[in-house]
Amino acid sequence: MQFGTLLRELRAKADLTQEELAAKAGISISTLRNHEQGHRLPSWSAVVKLAKALGVTTDTFAVCDEVSEPEKPTAKKKPKK
């Protein structure tokens, strides 16, 4: 699922307009529109603000295609003496 699609669905479920959600999350309406239309991915702080405004956890957005688990660091080999 795309981030913008999920964001629109959550906003509709919360019965909020774009203007209301933007105000509640403390972001601009143009930024919210860009996120919903998939033109721009949000910063982590924006995800936190949006989740809080929508009454969901940030984990809700983990199903988005753009979100993936961070790569695990590879173990460094100890140099031979």
Q: What is the pLDDT of residues 24-79, one digit of tens each?
A: 999 999 999 999 999 999 999 999 999 999 999 999 999 988 865 445 555 566 66
Q: What's domain 3-63's superfamily in CATH? A: lambda repressor-like DNA-binding domains (1.10.260.40)
Reported pTM: 0.79
First to last CA, the chain: 50
- Asked if 10 and 55 touch (Cβ cutoff 8 Å), the reply is no
The alpha carbon of residue 3 and the mean position of all alpha carbons in its chain are separated, in whole angstroms, by: 6
The closest alpha carbon to 36, from 15, 58, 68, 12, belongs to: 12
Q: In angstroms, rounded to a whole number, what is the distance separating the alpha carbons of residues 44 and 41?
A: 9
For the chain, domain boundaries: 3-63
